[in-house]
């Protein structure tokens, strides 16, 4: 298991928060809360060691060419594929938009 931190430039914080997923096999839990203006911070606890580059690429691609809201994101990962991670994050972003 390892704990990783990431930061990206961001805009204003969202109003809502969201929880999606579960720390089950091949899945992950994502908690999204409003962060400090200008900053998107992500904490990842993952059961897969040596995966920092993979996460970095995944986030960089997701936020490429856009200014995401200022969020504080907590991820508890239990071996999810990049596709599942992306899906969960998009679900979460959609939910904070609704609240």
Partner 1 sequence: MTDSAALLNKHSFVELGARQRAKALLDAGTFRELLDPFQRIMSPWLLRQGVVPQSDDGVVIAKGSLDGLPVVIAAIEGAFQGGSLGEVGGAKIAGALELAAEDNRKGIPTRAVLLLETGGVRLQEANLGLAAIAEIHSAIVDLRQYQPVIGVVAGSVGCFGGMSIAAGLCSYLLVTQEARLGLNGPQVIEQEAGLDEYDSRDRPFIWSLTGGEQRFATGLVDRYAADDVAQIRQQVSQLLHLGVPAHHRSGQAELFLQRLARLDNDVQIEPAAVRQLYQGERP
Q: Which residues bind partner 1 (CB under 8 A)?
A: 1, 17, 19, 22-25, 27, 29, 31, 33, 45-47, 74, 76-78
- Shortest CB 65 distance to partner 1, Å: 30
Closer Cβ to partner 1, 3 or 66, answer by number: 3
What separation, in Å, do the N-terminal and C-terminal C-alpha atoms of the chain show?
Answer: 33
- Shortest CB 48 distance to partner 1, Å: 10
Cα(23)–Cα(5) distance, integer angstroms = 18
Cα(72)–Cα(81) distance, integer angstroms = 22
Closer Cβ to partner 1, 19 or 84, answer by number: 19
């Amino acid at each position: 298991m390892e704990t990783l931190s990431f930061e990206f430039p961001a805009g204003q914080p969202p109003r809502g928060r969201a929880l999606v997923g579960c720390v089950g096999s091949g899945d992950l839990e994502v908690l999204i809360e409003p962060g400090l203006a200008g900053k998107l911070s992500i904490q990842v606890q993952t059961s897969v060691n040596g995966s920092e580059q993979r996460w970095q690429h995944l986030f960089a691609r997701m936020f490429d060419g856009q200014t995401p809201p200022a969020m504080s994101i907590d991820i508890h990962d239990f071996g999810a594929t990049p596709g599942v991670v992306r899906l969960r994050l998009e679900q979460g972003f959609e939910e904070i938009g609704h609240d």
